[in-house]
Amino acid sequence: SLVWHDAAAVADLAEGAVIGRTCAGTAVALYRIDGAYHATADRCTHAEARLSEGEVAEGCIECPLHYGLFEIATGKALGGPVGRDLATYPVRVEGERLLVGLP
Ligand code: FES
């Protein structure tokens, strides 16, 4: 079952942005796209670069290291050297806070 962790303030995450947070030892990248919140693992499945230091474009995150591409909503590996999908996590808004559900 999921455990919900307080990850960030809603105000920390601008539209189209990504931020990195550590929740209970797990590196999580949080995104806001068209007003919706998403979370994925913050380690690229290729060589563990921090995706929160990458670029968000058209619903995807581009890895800063070798430009691997993942679909944010699903974690699906789309291109570049990445072959394995990213873990995704549910996000809940509670007042001014964003909570992430981790297994
Ligand atoms: Fe992300 Fe290589 S570490 S593409």
Residue 31: the pLDDT is 98
Starting from the edge strand earliest in sequence, which strands make up the sheet with 77-79, in order? 55-57, 60-62, 69-71, 77-79
* Cβ neighbour number for residue 80 with a 10 Å cutoff: 16
* Atom of ligand 1 at shortest range from CA of 64: 1
Residue 1: the pLDDT is 87
Interatomic CA distance for residues 65 and 95, integer angstroms: 35
Neighbouring-strand partners of residue 92 = 99
Residue 86: the pLDDT is 97
At position 26, the amino acid (one-letter code) is T
* Atom of ligand 1 at shortest range from CA of 81: 4
What secondary structure letter does DSSP report for 33?
A: E
The structure tokens listed for 43 are: 């380690």
* Cβ neighbour number for residue 36 with a 10 Å cutoff: 10
Structural domains of the chain sorted by starting position, each given as residue range(s) with its CATH number in brackets: 3-102 (2.102.10.10)
Tens of pLDDT along 44-73?
Answer: 999 999 999 999 999 999 999 999 999 999
Residue 62: the pLDDT is 98
Which pLDDT tens digits describe the chain residue by residue (103 residues)? 899 999 999 999 999 999 999 999 999 999 999 999 999 999 999 999 999 999 999 999 999 999 999 999 999 999 889 999 999 999 999 999 999 999 9
**Beta strands 91-94; 36-41: pairing state:** unpaired
C-alpha 85 to ligand 1 mean position (Å)? 12
